[in-house]
Amino acid sequence: MKILVTCKRVVDYNVKVRVRTDGSGVDLTNVKMSMNPFDEIALEEALRLKEAGHATEVVLVSAGPSQATETIRSGLAMGADRGILVKHDGLLEPLAVAKILREIVASEKPSIVLMGKQAIDDDFNQTGQMLAGLLGWSQATFASQVKIAGEAVSVLREVDGGLQQIEARMPIVITADLRLNEPRYASLPNIMKAKKKPIEELTPEALGVDVVSRLQIIETKDPPARKAGVIVSNVSELVERLQTEAGVLS
């Protein structure tokens, strides 16, 4: 069984982003980039399924600029077998990414597509659902636990009301939530081995996918600054401030 895992190159989660002065977007000059944390969790789960004997190959795919090769290499160092980069320098909307992945799935024929539930740069949370719809596959989003028994997949997923257990049959698209696992660190020997693992390069045009943007970003701006907090000396002062200043108590 083959597992296809997606990975997106995003601003590292430890970096405080800066908005361009003209409001046209986020300034990426000299900014540290890394693999989207949710995709890293998805990759870790795929590697664990392989180590448990449920899969024979883990293929990592990314769509983006040539620098995304570094992101794929970091995934190969974690243990993925090979990578695929769909090179595109512009912005890619979720539907375009889903269509690209549909073509990759058609050629690779995986039984499972594992991906992060969302990317931390745009927070769309759409690509996994769109891909499942385009493929006509089962889908299990926000997974916090994945178990495989033959062709059946049991997924514990996080919903607003708590936890939900669902069962589906492969092929399936699964999106990983934060509590699915804790990704491993790449060892030095695996980092060296990753340099020799193959990365295939494609383009949206070669796949026959239209990636023309249909959304327009009007403006990007920083969130309003938060007001400084106040330390109160006792409960009476707290209640008084809540009544007179916040207006939350009557």
The C-alpha atoms of residue 232 and residue 61 are separated, in whole angstroms, by: 53
The C-alpha atoms of residue 172 and residue 47 are separated, in whole angstroms, by: 17
Q: What is the mean pLDDT of residues 164-170?
A: 94
Question: Is residue 10 within a helix (H) or strand (E), and if so which, with residue range?
Answer: strand 9-11
Domain ranges of the chain: 2-246
The C-alpha atoms of residue 122 and residue 242 are separated, in whole angstroms, by: 35
> Is a pLDDT exceeding 70 seen at residue 250?
no
The count of C-alpha atoms lying within 13 angstroms of the C-alpha of 201, restricted to the half-sphere facing its C-beta, is 8
The C-alpha atoms of residue 106 and residue 90 are separated, in whole angstroms, by: 24
DSSP 94: H
Band of residue 249 on the pLDDT scale cut at 50, 70, 90: low
pLDDT tens-digit profile of 100-135?
Answer: 999 999 999 999 999 999 999 888 999 999 999 999
Report for 22-26, 33-37, 90-94: range of highest mean pLDDT: 33-37
Class of domain 2-246: alpha beta
Band of residue 26 on the pLDDT scale cut at 50, 70, 90: confident
Band of residue 222 on the pLDDT scale cut at 50, 70, 90: confident
